[in-house]
């Protein structure tokens, strides 16, 4: 009997190690830290899903509460940055104003946070701290947008929130109020926020009524298409922390109001099968990774194109072909009017090829693109720069982003 507690302890330790351990590529650094982070996210998600099963409401709001409880928000971080909560055209935003600098007009940066159109906040944890850093180091007015999220809303509401905030921010009255140089205003976002930033940049660039337009866009591992979930990066990184292929497809389906029971069909690319008459050869060419990615980027993967399946799905889920949701599908004429771009991608990220394909299409349209790829990067690393969840690749990525904006804005 004396050995019984020891045996139980040993079994629990082994079980915990098995739960936490995930085989990772050798190129990834600080692997146990990443495994612990991923295990924490999985535990929170599973717990929230179990609560939903027991009737305690939708799992996403529950997950948000758990995550927010773990996030550390320090209102005294960089006290020289003035922070205020405002409303831009009915949309809540947080404004960060640099109080130092050399005087004169400042840069302007409009930012949309990531989180699968379901999670995240401009006012919490790393997002708040990073916005303060940008404002301080760039001598900029940073506006981080609190767009509405799933399940409370679905497409196109988050996009429309972001577009409304962007138009308000770019008005001459607001730029004058914050002493922003109208020639130095950028739009940016990460992941789902990168999707929103790309779509908003396209719309603003075409709007002849807008006297001031964005002079730069900075996209951090953006999601820009929902028609091919079998790109090389989706397959290579399908079980990679922090964003698996399954969860990314689920985020897309939730956002676009698709029936989640069709998950298997979407994973098989049946929603973009040859049976879809709305998917013309011209449209297919805009997300064809066999032509948009280099041979090195394609690796040894082969395209997955279903002959038939989900007939009529594009009529039932029109967002799949809507450029406001899938900026990669925009015509070259639209892309040609977009501002110069900074696009960051990570090798171990399901969205890697989305960013690479969008960079290629912008370049083909004549847009100046700086494409920065991290061979040791993973999805979410850009925000993981504060202890104890700090990663070297995240710090490098944040520094490179700031340096590019300093030189190009």
- Residues with a known catalytic role: 191, 349, 379
CB of 320 closer than 8 Å to CB of 284: no
Tell me whether the omega of the peptide bond preceding residue 151 falls within 30 degrees of 0, making it cis. yes
Which among 242, 250, 260, 259 has a CA at the least distance from the CA of 44? Answer: 242
d(CA 333, CA 54): 51
d(CA 313, CA 321): 11
d(CA 319, CA 265): 17
CB of 231 closer than 8 Å to CB of 354: yes
d(CA 381, CA 241): 10
- Residues 19-24: contacts with CB under 8 Å, at least 24 apart: 22/239, 22/241, 24/240, 24/241
Which among 326, 323, 325, 328 has a CA at the least distance from the CA of 341? Answer: 328
CB of 131 closer than 8 Å to CB of 75: no
Name the one residue in this structure whose structure tokens are 């979410």.
380
């Amino acid at each position: 009997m004396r050995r019984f507690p020891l045996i139980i302890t040993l079994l629990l330790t082994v079980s915990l190690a098995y739960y936490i351990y995930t085989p990772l590529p050798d190129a990834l650094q600080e692997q146990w830290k990443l495994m612990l982070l991923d295990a924490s996210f999985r535990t929170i998600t599973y717990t929230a899903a179990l609560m939903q099963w027991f009737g305690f409401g939708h799992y996403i709001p529950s997950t948000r509460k758990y995550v927010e409880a773990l996030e550390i928000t320090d209102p005294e971080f960089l006290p020289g940055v003035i922070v205020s909560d405002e409303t831009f055209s009915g949309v809540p935003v947080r404004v960060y104003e640099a109080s130092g600098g050399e005087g004169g007009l400042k840069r302007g940066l409009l930012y949309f946070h990531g989180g699968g159109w379901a999670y995240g906040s401009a006012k919490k944890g790393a997002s708040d701290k990073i916005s303060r850093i940008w404002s301080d180091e760039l001598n900029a007015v940073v506006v981080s947008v609190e767009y509405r999220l799933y399940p409370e809303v679905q497409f196109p509401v988050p996009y429309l929130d972001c577009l409304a905030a962007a138009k308000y921010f770019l008005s001459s009255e607001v730029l004058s109020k914050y002493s922003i140089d109208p020639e130095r205003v950028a739009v940016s976002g990460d992941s789902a926020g990168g999707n929103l930033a790309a779509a908003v940049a396209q719309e603003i660039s075409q709007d002849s009524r807008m006297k001031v337009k964005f002079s730069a866009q900075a996209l951090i591992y953006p999601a820009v298409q929902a028609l091919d979930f079998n790109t090389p990066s989706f397959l290579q990184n399908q079980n990679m922390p922090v964003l698996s292929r399954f969860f990314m497809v689920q985020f897309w389906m939730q956002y676009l109001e698709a029936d989640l029971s069709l998950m298997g069909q979407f994973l098989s690319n049946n929603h973009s099968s040859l049976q879809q008459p709305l998917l013309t050869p011209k449209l297919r060419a805009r997300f064809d990774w066999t032509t948009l990615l280099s041979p090195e980027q394609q690796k040894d993967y082969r395209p997955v194109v279903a002959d038939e399946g989900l007939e009529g799905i594009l009529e039932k889920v029109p967002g799949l072909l809507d450029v406001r949701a899938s900026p990669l599908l925009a015509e070259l004429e639209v892309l040609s009017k977009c501002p110069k771009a900074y696009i960051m991608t990570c090798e171990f990220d399901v969205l890697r090829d989305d960013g690479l394909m969008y960079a290629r299409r912008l370049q083909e349209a004549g847009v100046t693109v700086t494409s920065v790829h991290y061979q040791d990067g993973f999805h979410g690393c850009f925000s993981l720069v504060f202890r104890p969840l700090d990663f070297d690749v995240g710090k490098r990525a944040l520094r490179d982003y700031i340096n590019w904006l300093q030189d190009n804005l």
